[in-house]
């Protein structure tokens, strides 16, 4: 029997649930993870990733020494180097000086617009705050974004338009207080496993009724009272038809509408056309089901809506999210315990990275960059001459890559992210990456994006540094160092500070923006001085239990649910809506709709989980296809198929399952050897700039085993 | 029914909220009652009976973890009958399963002066270790059938229902459907079961390997070779020639 | 296995689909009937049809000894291994069948044979008892091998005796009493009368009659009915416990095989009295013939309007479903029986709550033994006062006793409560087999206690037996003459419990096994000084600490043997 040398409490680095962990360590080896049963977040429950998925830390392929490419890379000729022989091991000084030299060279030549950075929703609040501070304060650019653009951007935009804030309004665990909840565009059993447990318990133990609206027959359908199997992209018609019914049947909350909302008339008029018949025609959902769902939600005592990326990842993602917000406002199912508008955030710290200003249009705390007062405040915070900060909105992730060309973005700094897996239309992304003049990768592994880099800065993993994550229900929780950084790797915040000082020296900046932190606690305190929602958060307050933002003062207990009294914008605003079809609709050539997403065993681009034993559980990409479609196309369970869109083609095995509906196929995007994002479209939502990951049209044809293996070989070997 | 209940535990008068169990009432009074199968996180089933206490007016010992207090109850937590039952249950347990990784039960064995070798005829349960997945191992020679793993796999947490029982009586063992390997079952490897296992019957595979003397480096290398083996298998199945 | 034709199973599963998990045991019986065992793919199909998690289906298959997850022979033979049959040489019989099987040329039909030792088959008066493909064979020791294997053996006939025939009035006719016959004999008149009476009054009548449960626990039936009638809720159930499996007991089998309608009539009256809409009869899996008789009786009764909607033109609606167990003694425990009907492993539940408020499917439920329910029409037809003319004040009416073992005329005896034991044994049953005398008699079956010749004068009533430290139980009396090795008998009882313990609570799960192991050595004559205390500790721990009645009585016979025959458990 093994006794732990120490057991360290910390927060899970995978999804937005933010489960509390206890890491059991011996000889710097984390051999076991438990969770305290009194945890308010997860009550001792974990999923496979949280309990077993941390061995990537020790993976032999992890890079723990700074690296510089042996072969100098030039724009247009840039190549991917997975193999360590293409890299030279260097000292930190050499790596950072080299990086500083190159960044300064480009900045001094081409100015702010040439500089861009991808922050990271996996890194801590402190890391993200510092990285955006670095690019804003030192390079004077707002070209700062992270993967929230690729997930909930449209939810955030819609919530800001309608309510003036952008987070889950309620605590996930409050689902047990609902009597009716809608789950749409979300597959929590795989993507938010612990919230799924709470939802199952809400149905099984607390008698809640669940309405699932989803193009996939997800596991939660087994717990649903109603299941509305919609066609991808028909969200606005279906939810607006529900509003239509609620309106026609007088089931709306007149008092709430009068007291707390505006623009109801215009909205009501726009709902006229969304009859259940119309919605049925577009969505394929029986009108009776739509009517029943409308009545069930409207007449609930406590109704809540939970959604994930099926709503925002669309060219009309903002409208999709608004259709949900409209429903909640119409029925008054917001601002109370057990109700709410709850976008389930994907990454462990996507909420925190957004809060910390890792976004092109906002300083930390969602303070618009094009607002003079805000800019002045941050100039003061960072010791910058008045007018020094850039007042122009920066570019979003997808726009940054699109702007890579002479006269556009020349230098890109990537902390932790992997656009070469996560961006849509990867063939296009590849071209853009090749055109960069200078690329910095700061990560644990040389992933598909880092392989393009000039310099690789080895970062410490989450178990090797201190900091905080903010989970999906706005709870700021501690991340603790459990083991020393492996090899020469360093915490992200330290790397950033070290590099920023070197850059400042080269730029002869008279005032330093300040990089002499001794501990991440000081970073969070600095942010809290200028971000009211974080003003009351101190490390010593969250040693045991995290606090839910807003926490405006040091004695404020945190905020389990929002909008009890008022909405941040005063009155919540109804938005009239129109039906807009997807950018691509099925046709004879591309008859099937491809939806992408995650599976339980893997995480996003796979940088972590494919370097974990987790990969043994789910070793290869599989395409879900309905038995009827499979039969029609002559495809058997497990047989290879070629999937082709207007942008690319991949070969992988089919999984014949009723989990997906007729006409829709699903491919997870974790697998480089069959990268789903080679197929997806880079058409964007006009307001939120989010790509349409959930609806590309494709053609599926049987392939041979040879093609499957051929694909394996033609791709670069390994990711290392 | 009144909001508070008055009862007597070991000559001590205790007042507790209605609906409390005897175990909770005793805890409040600072009286220790041992438990084995009971876990705050799981539905109590009263399986191990180690928490049995004597309640005046009842024929059999009452499991404190589930029996609710009633007004005027008179309870003896350390009577002769109670002690005999506890000692014997521990002796039978020690003769049935490997308790080497159950420090709490070992402490009870000390406390009740149980004789570890009381039953020389005993046929212990000694199934071999099941190592059928990359996440955790199942060593049912250490399983005391507390049911926690089955419960958290079902309604107590996960609603996955990957495990249930095979056999019955003394031959009961936790099992998948037709004893299939875990990856073929509905298991999602959440490890809730590992989290509630009190005896080391379920443990993370890396911990198990570490205990078997592998160094962390060796363990991580093992992974890679396992991967390569798997990859070879896949290639062979892809190209049968 | 993948080329298994699932269509016949899927066809049968259609009818269960809407009812879900409660149909699990019936569906598994179907699968086994079709395929001879339950193949994995069949279990998967059942899981899909009934929406039951697969691991739990396997758990259920594994719990019940009559379900096989692996292929078995075309013919399955069960040989009873418990005391009464052991006295009649069942062990020799088992060995003979085994020998014949091994000697049979391969390819012969007999090569496809599975022979198993079984717990008491409820055919003790026909010992040694054997089931061939579920069909009972009387006096198997006297049959030819070929007759036995081909199932041509004669059907055992009811052996009846006693001084009154009230409950057994229609029994022993050599056939099952059909509905028309039952009506001619005055059947369903009690129901007709009951339906003209307010339900409360029926409960009062049962209370006035002083009827107590005949399953072993002797709980006043009227109080049970009253509690269920008073329990809140509109959905209620009556369950007839026909899981007769106590070694030595066969009374319910005879009642069900010979006179099923009298039991149905009792159930319907109970349903009316407590306001239930549905009744279940749960019959042990080994009782194929009683199952068939009861099933037919229900169909006939439904056809004739004694079941269904608007029974006898009243607004009373009630129906009965017959369920089969699948080889688990524990399912005679009332809450385990509920679990089994609900499609689960037969684990007894914690009590409280009690069945009268939280019974089958969590609803208020009255659960009565077959014999108890058979008393109901008698009481209603003639009134409580008339019923009380037999028996004693505290034990009114008549009682069925199952006599077996070393007795001249084994069989089912109906006598008024209050006759002395010696009267039953010597005057009615012809005494101990010729040339021998009484050594001991086991009262109450495996969960019972031993009587000695000193007990011959005890009057057979609840109160007298209690005073003598003997359980009446379900009316079992197994007789042992002076030649019998009581250590062997104790070993068989211990083995029975070790095999039938459900494994839920620790004292019984491990205690039955430890008790068996110790007695196995003692039966070999290797007694150790420490055995006495070991058996006492294990026995009393089970008695004091077990969760249900099975564990609480699993040491009862052994402890009584230790009391009356201490030398057997001590080193020489």
Q: Contact B45/C504, CB-based, under 8 Å?
A: yes
**C residues 488-527 lying closer than 8 A (beta carbon) to B:** 498-507, 509-514, 517-518, 520-521
CA distance C22 to C344: 8
State the pLDDT at residue A318: 97
Domain end (from A40, A58, A76): A58
Helix (H, G, I), strand (E, B) or coil at C281: strand
A720 touches chain B (CB under 8 A): no
Interchain proximity B177–C345, CB inside 8 Å: no
A613/B239 CB distance under 8 A: no
Q: What is the DSSP string of C227-280?
A: HHHHSS-S--EEEEEE---STT--HHHHHHHH-HHHHHHHHHHHHHHHT-SEEE
Cite the residue boundaries of each domain of chain C with CATH code 3.10.20.600: 398-481
Half-sphere exposure of C279 (CA within 13 A, CB side): 37
Q: Is A586 part of any domain?
A: no
Average predicted confidence (pLDDT) for chain A: 95
Q: Residue A565 corresponds to which tokens in the numbers above?
A: 């009294």
Same domain, yes or no: A192 and A298: yes
Among A318, A344, A370, the domain-final residue is: A344
- In this prediction, residues A467-487 reach a mean pLDDT of 97
pLDDT given at position A715: 41
Burial call A291-317: b when 16+ CB within 10 Å, e when fewer: bbbbbbbbebebbbbbbbbbbbbbbbb
Report d(CA B164, CA C57) in Å as an integer: 9
Interface partners of chain A (CB pairs < 8 Å, 3 or more) are: B
Measured over all CA atoms, what is the biggest interatomic distance in chain B, rounded to whole angstroms? 81
| Contact (CB, 8 A) for C502 and C550 | yes
pLDDT at A714 over 50: no
**Domain count within chain A:** 4
Task: Tell me whether residues A617 and B134 touch, CB distance under 8 A.
Answer: yes
Assess C58–B contact: CB distance below 8 Å, yes or no: yes
- What does the alpha-carbon distance between residue B225 and residue B235 come to, in Å, rounded to a whole number? 15
Q: Do A45 and B223 touch (CB under 8 A)?
A: no
Q: Do A180 and A166 share a structural domain?
A: yes
Q: Does C1 touch chain B (CB under 8 A)?
A: no
In the predicted structure, residue A293 carries a pLDDT above the cut 60: yes
Please check the confidence at residue A716 and state whether its pLDDT lies above 60.
Answer: no
Pair of tokens at residue C467: 């005073």
Report residue C244 CA to chain centroid gap.
0
* Chain A residue with minimum CA distance to B197: A34
Single out the residue in A280, A313, A344 at which a domain terminates. Answer: A344
Could you tell me if A310 and A357 lie in one domain? no
Per the domain annotation, does A545 fall within a domain? no
Q: Which CATH class is domain C75-150?
A: alpha beta
Predicted model pTM = 0.94
The verdict on A298 and A173 lying in the same domain is yes
- Provide the domain limits for residue A460: 67-151+349-526
Residue A713's pLDDT is what?
Answer: 43
In this structure, is residue A437 part of a structural domain? yes
The predicted pLDDT at position C145 comes to 72
Report the distance separating Cα A483 and Cα A24, nearest Å: 11
Report the alpha-carbon distance of residue B33 to residue C265 in Å, rounded: 50
Contact B169, C501 (CB under 8 A): yes
* Cβ contact C543–B60 (<8 Å): yes
Question: Strand pairing of A696-702 and A592-597?
Answer: antiparallel
Res. A573: pLDDT tops 90 = yes
User: Would you say residue A708 has pLDDT above 90?
Assistant: no
Name beta bridge partners: C34. Answer: none
* A 59-88 → B contacts, CB under 8 A: 59-60
Residue located via tokens 């003692």: C522
Say what the pLDDT of residue B2 is: 56
- Per-residue pLDDT tens digits for A339-395: 999 999 999 999 999 999 999 999 999 999 999 999 999 999 999 999 999 999 999
Omega into B213 within 30° of 0, i.e. cis?
Answer: no
Q: Write phi, then psi, for C420 (nearest 5 degrees).
A: -75, 155
What architecture is domain C398-481?
Roll (3.10)
For residue B205, the chain A residues in CB contact (below 8 A) are: 613
- CATH match for C160-388 among 2.40.30.10, 3.40.50.11540, 3.40.50.300, 3.40.190.10: 3.40.50.11540
Whether A120 and A267 share a structural domain = no
Q: Is residue A178 part of a domain?
A: yes
Please, where in chain C does CATH 3.40.50.11540 lie? 160-388
Of C55, C500, C509, the CB nearest to B176: C55
| Residue B177 contacts C where some CB pair is shorter than 8 Å | yes
Q: Chain B: list its partners (3+ Cβ pairs within 8 Å).
A: A, C
With beta carbons less than 8 A apart as the criterion, state whether A17 and A347 touch: no
Pairing mode of beta strands A622-625, A649-656:
parallel
CATH no. of C486-568: 1.20.1440.230
Kindly tell me if the per-residue pLDDT of B159 is higher than 70. Answer: yes
High-pLDDT (> 70) share of chain A, %:
98
Angle of helix C370-382 versus helix C260-274 axis, rounded to 10: 80
A339 and A199 co-located in one domain: yes
Q: What is the pLDDT of residues A658-686, one digit of tens each?
A: 999 999 999 999 999 999 999 999 999 99
Q: A82: cis peptide before it, omega within 30°?
A: no
Domains contained in chain B, CATH given: 4-78 (3.10.20.740), 136-238 (3.30.70.20)
Bridge partners for A33 per DSSP: A23
Residues A243, A293: one domain? yes
| Those residues with Cβ within 8 angstroms of residue A668's Cβ, 6 or more apart along the chain or in another chain | A596, A597, A598, A599, A602, A621, A622, A676
In whole angstroms, give the CA distance from residue A661 to residue A644.
19
What's residue A695's pLDDT? 94
Whether residues A312 and A451 share a domain: the answer is no
Q: Give B239's pLDDT tier (boundaries 50, 70, 90).
A: low
- Tell me, yes or no, whether A500 and A513 share the same domain: yes
**CA-CA-CA-CA dihedral for B62, B68, B71, B77, to nearest 10:** 40
Query: Residue C426 gets which letter from DSSP?
Result: I
Q: Could you tell me if residue A560 is inside a domain?
A: no
Where chain C has pLDDT below 70, the residues are 1-2, 104-111, 151, 153
| Domain assignment of residue A573, yes or no | no
Is the preceding peptide bond at C353 cis, omega within 30 degrees of 0? yes
Rounded CA-CA distance C305/C313 in Å is 9
In the predicted model, what is the mean pLDDT of chain B?
92
pLDDT in tens, B215-225: 998 888 875 55
Give the whole-angstrom CA distance, residue C388 versus residue C205: 11
- In 3D space, the residue among A611, A715, A604 whose CA is nearest the CA of residue A82 turns out to be A715
A374 with A385: CB under 8 angstroms?
Answer: no
**Section A305-309 average pLDDT:** 96
User: Do A124 and A138 fall within a single domain?
Assistant: yes
Let me know how long chain B is.
Answer: 241
All residues of chain A having their beta carbon less than 8 Å from the beta carbon of residue B133 are 617
pLDDT at residue A323 tops 80? yes
Contacts of B63 in chain C (CB under 8 A): 350, 547
User: Is the Cβ of A47 closer than 8 Å to some Cβ of chain B?
Assistant: yes
Per the domain annotation, does A420 fall within a domain?
yes
Tell me how many residue pairs between chain B and chain C have CB atoms under 8 A apart: 156
Shared-domain flag, residues A130 and A239 = no
Test B47 with C43 for CB contact under 8 angstroms.
Answer: no
Q: A18-63, pLDDT tens digit by residue?
A: 999 999 999 999 999 999 999 999 999 999 999 999 999 999 899 9
Q: Is A176 a domain residue?
A: yes
Tell me how far apart the terminal alpha carbons of chain C are, to the nearest angstrom: 57
CATH number assigned to the domain comprising residue A598: 2.40.40.20
* Residue B235 pLDDT: 56
CA angle C69, C74, C77 (to 5 degrees): 85
My answer on whether A46 and A79 are in the same domain is no
Cα–Cα distances in Å, from C329 out to C372, C549, C551, C560? 19, 12, 12, 22
Q: Which residues of chain C form CATH 3.40.30.10?
A: 75-150
Q: Where in chain C is the domain with CATH 1.20.1440.230?
A: 486-568
């Amino acid at each position: 029997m093994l006794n732990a040398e120490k057991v360290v409490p910390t927060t899970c680095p995978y999804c937005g649930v933010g489960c509390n962990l206890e890491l059991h360590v011996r000889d710097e080896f984390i051999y076991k993870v438990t969770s305290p049963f009194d945890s308010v977040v997860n009550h001792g429950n974990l999923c496979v990733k949280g309990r077993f998925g941390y061995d990537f830390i020790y993976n032999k392929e992890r890079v723990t020494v700074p690296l510089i490419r042996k072969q100098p890379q030039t724009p247009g000729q840039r190549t991917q180097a997975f193999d360590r022989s293409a890299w030279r091991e260097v000292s930190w000084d050499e790596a950072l000086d080299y990086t500083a030299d190159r960044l300064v060279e480009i900045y001094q030549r081409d100015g702010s617009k040439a500089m861009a950075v991808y922050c990271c929703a996996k890194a801590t609040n402190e890391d993200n705050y510092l990285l955006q501070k670095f690019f804003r304060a030192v390079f004077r650019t707002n070209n700062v974004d992270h993967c929230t653009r690729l997930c909930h951007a449209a939810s955030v935009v819609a919530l800001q338009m309608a309510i003036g804030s952008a987070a889950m309004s309620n605590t996930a665990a409050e689902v047990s207080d609902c009597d009716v909840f809608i789950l749409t565009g979300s597959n929590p059993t795989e993507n938010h496993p612990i919230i799924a447990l709470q939802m199952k318990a809400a149905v099984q133990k607390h008698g809640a009724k669940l309405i699932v609206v989803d193009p996939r027959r997800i596991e939660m359908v087994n717990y649903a009272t109603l299941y509305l199997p919609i066609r991808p992209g028909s969200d606005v018609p279906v939810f607006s038809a529900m509003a239509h019914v609620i309106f026609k049947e007088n089931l709306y909350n007149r008092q709430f509408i009068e007291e707390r909302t505006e623009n109801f008339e215009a909205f009501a008029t726009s709902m006229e056309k969304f009859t259940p018949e119309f919605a049925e025609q577009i969505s394929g959902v029986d009108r009776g089901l739509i009517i029943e769902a409308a009545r069930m939600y409207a007449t609930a005592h406590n109704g809540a809506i939970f959604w994930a990326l099926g709503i925002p990842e669309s060219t009309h993602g903002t409208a999709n999210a608004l259709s949900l917000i409209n429903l909640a406002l119409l029925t008054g199912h917001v601002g109370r315990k057990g109700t709410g508008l709850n976008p389930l955030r994907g990454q462990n710290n996507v909420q925190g990275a957004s809060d910390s200003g890792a976004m092109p249009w906002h300083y930390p705390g969602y303070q618009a960059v094009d607002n003079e007062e805000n800019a002045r405040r941050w100039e003061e915070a960072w010791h910058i001459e008045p007018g020094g900060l850039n007042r122009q909105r920066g570019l979003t992730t997808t726009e940054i890559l699109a702007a890579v060309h002479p006269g556009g973005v020349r230098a890109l700094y990537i902390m932790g992210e992997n656009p070469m897996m996560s961006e849509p239309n990867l063939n296009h992304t590849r071209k853009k990456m090749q055109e960069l003049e200078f690329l910095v990768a700061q990560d644990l592994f040389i992933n598909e994006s880092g392989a393009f880099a000039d310099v690789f800065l080895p970062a410490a993993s989450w178990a090797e540094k201190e900091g905080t994550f903010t989970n999906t229900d706005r709870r700021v929780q501690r991340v603790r160092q459990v083991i020393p950084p492996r090899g020469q790797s360093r915490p992200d915040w330290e790397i950033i500070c070290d590099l920023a000082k070197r850059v400042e020296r080269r730029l002869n900046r008279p005032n330093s923006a300040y990089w002499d932190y001794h501990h991440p606690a000081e970073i969070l305190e600095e942010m809290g001085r200028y971000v009211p929602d974080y003003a009351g958060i101190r490390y010593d307050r969250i040693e045991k239990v995290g606090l839910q933002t807003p926490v405006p003062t040091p004695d404020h207990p945190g905020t389990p649910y929002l909008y009890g009294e008022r909405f941040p914008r005063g009155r919540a605003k109804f938005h009239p809506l129109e039906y807009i079809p997807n950018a691509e609709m099925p046709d004879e050539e591309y008859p099937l709709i491809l939806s992408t997403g995650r599976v339980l065993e893997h995480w996003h681009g796979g940088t972590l989980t494919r370097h974990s034993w987790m990969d043994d559980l789910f070793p290869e990409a599989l395409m879900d296809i309905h038995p009827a479609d499979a039969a029609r196309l002559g495809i058997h369970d497990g047989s290879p198929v070629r999937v082709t869109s207007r942008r690319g083609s991949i070969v992988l095995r089919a999984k014949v399952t009723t989990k997906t509906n007729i006409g829709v196929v699903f491919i997870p995007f974790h697998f480089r050897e069959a990268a789903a994002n080679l197929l997806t479209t880079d058409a964007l939502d006009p307001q939120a700039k989010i790509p349409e990951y959930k609806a590309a049209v494709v053609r599926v044809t049987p392939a041979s085993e040879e093609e499957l293996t051929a694909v394996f070989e033609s791709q670069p070997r390994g990711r290392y | 029914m009144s909001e508070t209940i008055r009862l007597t535990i070991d000559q001590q008068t205790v007042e507790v909220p209605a609906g409390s169990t005897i175990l909770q009432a005793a805890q409040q009074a600072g009286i220790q009652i041992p438990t084995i199968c009971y876990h705050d996180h799981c539905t109590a089933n009263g399986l191990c009976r180690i928490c049995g206490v004597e309640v005046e007016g009842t024929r059999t010992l009452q499991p404190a973890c589930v029996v609710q207090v009633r007004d005027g109850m008179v309870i003896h937590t350390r009577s002769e009958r109670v002690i005999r039952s506890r000692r014997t249950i521990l002796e039978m347990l020690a003769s049935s399963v490997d308790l080497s990784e159950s420090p709490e039960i070992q402490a009870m064995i000390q406390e009740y002066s149980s004789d570890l070798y009381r039953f020389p005829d005993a046929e212990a349960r000694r199934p071999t270790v099941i190592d059928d997945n990359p996440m955790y191992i199942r060593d049912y020679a250490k399983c005391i059938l507390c049911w926690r793993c089955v419960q958290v796999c079902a309604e107590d947490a996960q609603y996955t229902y990957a495990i249930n029982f095979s056999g019955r009586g003394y031959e009961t063992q936790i099992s998948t459907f037709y004893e299939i390997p875990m990856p073929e079952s509905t298991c999602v490897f959440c490890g809730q079961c590992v989290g509630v296992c009190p005896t080391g019957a379920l443990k993370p595979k890396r911990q198990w390997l570490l205990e078997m003397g592998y160094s962390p480096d060796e363990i991580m290398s093992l992974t890679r070779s396992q991967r390569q083996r798997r990859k070879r298998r896949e290639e062979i199945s892809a190209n049968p020639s | 296995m993948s080329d298994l034709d699932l269509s016949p199973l899927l066809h049968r599963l259609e009818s269960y689909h809407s009812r879900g998990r409660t149909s699990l045991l019936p569906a598994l019986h179907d699968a086994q009937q079709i395929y001879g065992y339950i193949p994995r793919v069949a279990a998967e199909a059942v899981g899909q049809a009934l929406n039951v998690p697969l691991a739990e289906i396997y758990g259920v298959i594994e719990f019940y000894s009559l379900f096989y997850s692996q292929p078995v022979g075309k013919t399955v033979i069960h040989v009873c291994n418990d005391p009464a049959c052991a006295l009649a040489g069942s062990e020799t019989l088992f060995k003979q069948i085994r020998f014949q099987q091994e000697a049979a040329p391969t390819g012969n039909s007999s090569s496809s044979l599975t022979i198993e030792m079984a717990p008491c088959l409820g055919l003790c008066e026909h010992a040694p008892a054997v089931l061939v493909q579920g069909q009972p064979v009387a006096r198997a020791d006297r049959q030819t091998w070929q007759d036995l294997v081909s199932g041509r053996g004669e059907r055992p006939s009811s052996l009846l005796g006693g001084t009154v025939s009230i409950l057994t009035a229609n029994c022993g006719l050599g056939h099952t009493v059909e509905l028309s016959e039952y009506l001619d004999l005055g059947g369903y008149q009690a129901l007709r009368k009951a339906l003209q009476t307010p339900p409360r009054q029926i409960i009062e009548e049962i209370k006035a009659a002083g009827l107590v449960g005949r399953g072993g626990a002797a709980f006043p039936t009227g109080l049970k009915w009253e509690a269920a009638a008073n329990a809140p809720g509109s959905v209620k159930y009556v369950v007839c416990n026909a899981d007769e499996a106590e070694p030595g007991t066969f009374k319910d089998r005879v009642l069900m095989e010979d006179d099923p309608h009298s039991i149905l009539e009792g159930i319907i009256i109970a349903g009316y009295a407590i306001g239930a809409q549905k009744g279940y009869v749960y019959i042990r899996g080994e009782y194929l013939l009683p199952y068939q008789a009861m099933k037919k009786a229900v169909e006939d009764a439904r056809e004739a309007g004694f079941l269904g909607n608007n029974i006898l033109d009243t607004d009373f609606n009630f129906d009965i479903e017959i369920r089969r167990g699948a080889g688990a003694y524990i399912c005679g425990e009332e809450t385990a029986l509920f679990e089994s009907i609900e499609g689960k492993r037969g684990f007894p539940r914690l009590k409280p709550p009690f069945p009268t408020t939280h019974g089958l499917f969590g609803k208020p439920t009255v659960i009565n033994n077959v014999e108890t329910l058979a008393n109901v029409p008698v009481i209603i037809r003639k009134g409580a006062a008339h019923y009380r003319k037999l028996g004693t004040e505290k034990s009114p009416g008549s009682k069925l006793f199952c006599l077996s073992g070393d007795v001249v005329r084994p069989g089912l005896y109906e006598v008024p409560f209050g006759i002395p034991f010696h009267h039953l044994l010597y005057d009615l049953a012809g005494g101990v087999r010729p040339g021998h005398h009484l050594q001991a008699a086991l009262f109450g079956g495996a969960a019972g206690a031993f009587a000695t010749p000193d007990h011959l004068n005890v009057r057979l009533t609840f109160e007298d037996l209690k005073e003598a430290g003997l359980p009446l139980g379900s009316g079992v009396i197994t007789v042992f003459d002076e030649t019998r090795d009581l250590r062997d008998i104790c070993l068989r009882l211990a083995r029975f419990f070790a095999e039938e313990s459900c494994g839920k609570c620790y004292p019984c799960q491990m205690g039955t096994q430890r008790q068996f192991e110790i007695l196995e050595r003692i039966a070999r004559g290797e007694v150790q000084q420490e055995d006495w205390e070991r058996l006492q500790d294990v026995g009393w721990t089970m008695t004091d600490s077990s969760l249900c009645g099975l564990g609480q009585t699993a040491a009862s016979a052994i402890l009584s043997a230790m009391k009356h025959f201490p030398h057997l458990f001590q080193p020489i």
